[in-house]
Structure 1
Amino acid sequence: MKKTSKAIEDYLEAFYILYNNKEPLESARVSRLLNVSRPAVNKATHELMRLGFINKTPYSEIEFTPSGKRIAKKVYHRHTTLKKYLLSLGVSEKNADRDCCLIEHVLSEETFKKIENLVKEK
């Protein structure tokens, strides 16, 4: 798997959230979801295309490549698992969401697996 930056993972996750909700994968929707400008989303979209994570032709919807979808799904899974764990500790929804956004990218695979197992047991 290609090493990806936090920003790239955040964009992939945002596209995956839209995909998972059966919403069109459009820059305007990602802009609202991440609270960033449309030019920032367009720049990130070009970078995701360059890295081979998404495909897009002019005036068409964005589509995941197999590797892009795999990474997006993994980041989304880490986020949702960590959020469930933090909520189970009594952390507020707002703080759990913010905190898991910060730690999902830096947590070791070993630590994540332990947390994932705890969440599954509950």
Structure 2
Amino acid sequence: MQTSLEEDILEDILAIQKDGDTPTLEKIASRLSLPVETILPALERCRDSGLISSNSPSLWTLTKEGRKTAEVIARRHAVLACFLTEKLGLEAEAASREACLLEHDISEETIDALDSFMQSPDRQCRGHGRRHCAHYSESAPLINFSEGETLIVTFVRCPGRHRRLIDLGVIEGEPIIIRRKLHNEAVVISVKGCDIALSPEIASEINARRRI
């Protein structure tokens, strides 16, 4: 079983390779924000376990087994980051940091359950293949839409800060109409038959997609 550092190394080598780059010792250390001398023993343990190979002291690549292991770790990260942003309202950067901490101890059964939850038709999140979760490719902040458009709320960032909006019905899956857009980018929406004025700051934290 790999340590947390070893798993992070495998995940970052995979990310570097997917970016079409060469996983050098320096690049791996830079992504982890750790000194080379700190990660070198962990790299050597991964090599001894048959998960990575090295043609030179500074160049490391995943073996077939190492890539399989790295993809499992990367999936855990993506599912957790998706859940933290989509359902709990964390910003993408904060969600990724938390996912880095959680991904090492969570069971595959729990990841499978979270993945199924996020991929259900009424909750689908399409970002599992990316380092940071992307919420619906057609989703955008309310301030990006025009007057008169009918939308479906996809998520509200940091819902704990916007409990009043949730009480008024601005929740995931709820249809809304853009009634007016003011010169300062404030937005007036209609939800459940009521008109609500939103400041630009709040409107930018509510994402929606066009109703099909």
Greater gyration radius: 2
Q: Distance in 1 between matches of 2:30 and 2:82?
A: 24
Q: Which of the pair is proportionally richer in helix? A: 1
Which residues in structure 2 correspond to 1:29-108 (within 5 Å)?
A: 29-58=27-56, 61-89=59-87, 90-108=89-107
Instruction: Confirm or deny: 8 A CA contact 2:52 2:63 kept in the other structure.
Output: yes
What TM-score do you get using the length of structure 2 for normalisation? 0.53
Cα displacement string for residues 66-107 of structure 1 (whole angstroms, at most 9, x for unaligned residues): 111110111011101111111102111222011111111111
What residue number does 1:113 align with?
112
Cα displacement string for residues 25-55 of structure 1 (whole angstroms, at most 9, x for unaligned residues): 1111111100000122322221111111111
Q: Distance in 1 between matches of 2:110 and 2:40?
A: 34
Secondary structure, in 3 states, of the residue corresponding to 1:47?
helix
Q: Which of the pair is proportionally richer in strand? A: 2
Instruction: Confirm or deny: 8 A CA contact 2:6 2:43 kept in the other structure.
Output: no
**Stretches of structure 2 lacking an aligned partner (at least 5 in a row):** 125-212
Q: Distance in 2 between matches of 1:95 and 1:31?
A: 21
What TM-score do you get using the length of structure 1 for normalisation? 0.89
What residue number does 2:176 align with?
none
Displacement of 1:10 after TM fit? 0.9
Identify the structure with bigger relative contact order (alpha carbons < 8 Å, sequence gap 6+).
Answer: 1
